[in-house]
Amino acid sequence: MILKQPIGLVAVLLTITSVTTCAEEIAKPSPQQIRFADWEVGAFFHYTLNPFTDQEHGDGQEPPSKFNPTQLDVEQWILTAKSMGARYAVLTARHEGGFCLWPSKTTDYTIANSPFRNGNGDLVREFVDACRKHDLAVGLYHTAGFDANAAIGKYQGDMELPLQWSSTWGKAVSEAFRKDPTLRERFKKKQVEQMRELLTWYGPIDFMWSDHWDATDPNGVWRAVTNLARELQPELVFMGPDTWVPGNETGHVVYPMWNAVNTVDRTEHSRPAAGTGDRTTKNNYGLLEGDVRKGDPFGKFWRVRECTTHAAFHYGGWFWHPDHVKKTYPRHTWEHLDLYYRTVGLGANTIINLPPDTRGLIPDNLVAAANKLGDEIRNRFAQPIATTNAVQTGDVVELKWEDPQAINTVVTMENIANGQKIAKYTLEAFVDGNWETLQPRNRLVAQRPYNGNPGYETIGHKKIDRVKPVTTNRVRFRCLESIAKPVEIRSLAVFDCDPITRTFDASYPYLSGINTSFDEAHGNMKRDIDYRGGPLELNGKTYEHGILLCPVGVTRIGVAEFDMTPIPKAKGISATIGIEDMTGSQGSCKFIVEGNVNGKWQALYNSPVLRGGSKPIEIAVTFPKGMKQLRLRTTDGGDNANSDHALWADAKFSE
């Protein structure tokens, strides 16, 4: 129970007892987990047959002969990661399709049977050597529970190839296990031996990214490979028992957030359990880990959060694909900075995807974006105005420096070696002879259940607080609520960082060129592009501008709000609305326009239900006098998961 002002004598006794008894019992990270949290930024290299076969999840049916990068340069990958600020890197040694990037003895489905390096290649070896040469921690991806080639072999069924991840892929695997009762044990043995090879052939591995981990079954494949990893490399950080994902692939973590968790079966072998208010998000794009967990301050197990970010750093998929499949290109720099603040800045790690192309190189535009992000982070945080230089104990920590300077950012780190304790705090500056509360300015790109405007609650490994600028030479941290004593601050530092300017490809009068005050959409609101990164289309007509505002899977509502104060000359909007052509005949949606006048929302337009293939509707809406906010909403029209791709084409303000 958190120590704050209780109600009644019983509450007082419960509060004091809980804090006293839990001070020594709260979960604490291992030295490996602390080291992992200190890395903060990682680089993810997704590479296998998929870029050569136009697949995202690999069905294990494509021949190894298709893997033939002719300019592959792993040092280019690693130097790009270093420039971005990554301190660890992860390679998909064996992804879900089953193709091994090392000459495994467990299968013929390996790099040894490809033209790469004339059949003598070992990409895992090249990767490990490059990481060590350039002082990056080494991480490998291996998903023991998902191996299409090992499960299916050569597919002989009636379903169309390639097998689709969200439907026929799983059916084919399940059918193979059902038909052959001995397959599961052979499958398990193969995965165990592959893990043994990876952990005995290449020296110390720092991190194993074990996708879709769940070791609840004591006789299952996950328990077997997890136990083997603990035996062979006890210093290894293993995703699952040591780290966990936050329920999305867009680079978001909940706030407030506790690293301590309880688990489904109350052992280290299972996933974090749901607490009050936690939820599981729906995802139509193949994500199997949609559990959003804020943690439990008195949880038994410590799990560092690591945010996966392919959809936050670039458009496209985890793997590079040619433009006609799923165009891979970077987001804006301000979006990359927002990603950093909403992950590292809220106490989590972020692992940023840098997918090599069919040449075997990181594309130039992704290299440039990674370099730019690294420069922006270094420019902001390499030189603090002032910082503490030792762990400080107590509810108040003050930082002083000689001459008053302008500050707008405070970075606080908790000494998590003794657990995460802080539940609520405040930051203050000494200005004109008085202590003043620093007003947080932490606006982030986030949709529920993630926090788009985090305040002063948990800290954990690190909290980056952007604040209203002040000029001062004294700042102090004050803990207001904690779950245990003493509070320990590892570091307190102040900075004067450049502001983040949000920019878009379009500009006024197009809505896609105007910043939103709030938006929430399935897969995030898209501006001027469809979900593949291609042009927007309605009934065969291409539109240069527009926004895709697809209903969120759980709420079945998409929202975009605009502050009209900066653009008083706008008197209305016009748009062509409909279900974007990418869905074909599927999908259904209603389009709603609302305005806020005197603090109350008014309905300005409601469309009939539009379906995939329906004739688009041209709308023109006039704003009422005194309107301060505009809100566009899209709602599910009854077609559930297919109610995506709600397009406001050519949406623009009128004067």
Question: Which pLDDT value is given to residue 2?
Answer: 53
Q: Select the highest-mean-pLDDT range: 3-12, 35-44, 267-276.
A: 35-44
Just give the CATH number of 40-381: 3.20.20.80
Of the listed ranges 15-19, 35-39, 118-122, 616-620, the one predicted with least confidence: 15-19
Q: Where in the chain is the domain with CATH 2.60.120.1060?
A: 511-654
Using 50, 70 and 90 to split pLDDT, how confident is the model at 69? very high
Topology of domain 511-654 in CATH is Jelly Rolls (2.60.120)
* Average pLDDT value over all residues in the chain: 92
Q: Which residue has the higher pLDDT, 528 or 585?
A: 528
Q: Where in the chain is the domain with CATH 3.20.20.80?
A: 40-381
3-class SS of residue 12: helix
Q: What percent of the chain has pLDDT over 90?
A: 80
The model carries a pTM of: 0.85
Q: Is the pLDDT of residue 14 over 60?
A: no
Question: Which pLDDT value is given to residue 276?
Answer: 85
Question: Which pLDDT value is given to residue 385?
Answer: 98
Of the listed ranges 198-207, 224-233, 272-281, 628-637, the one predicted with least confidence: 272-281
Using 50, 70 and 90 to split pLDDT, how confident is the model at 25? confident
Just give the CATH number of 384-495: 2.60.120.260
Q: How far is CA 628 from the centre of its chain?
A: 33
Q: Is the pLDDT of residue 12 over 50?
A: no
Three-state SS annotation for 400-469: EEEEEEEEEEEEEEECHHHCCCEEEEEEEEEECCEEEECCECCCCCCCCCCCCCCCCCCCCCCEEEEEEE
How is residue 61 written in tokens?
């049916």
Beta bridge partners of 258: none
Q: How far apart are CA 518 and CA 349, in angstroms?
A: 25
Find out whether the peptide bond into 454 is cis, omega within 30 degrees of 0. no
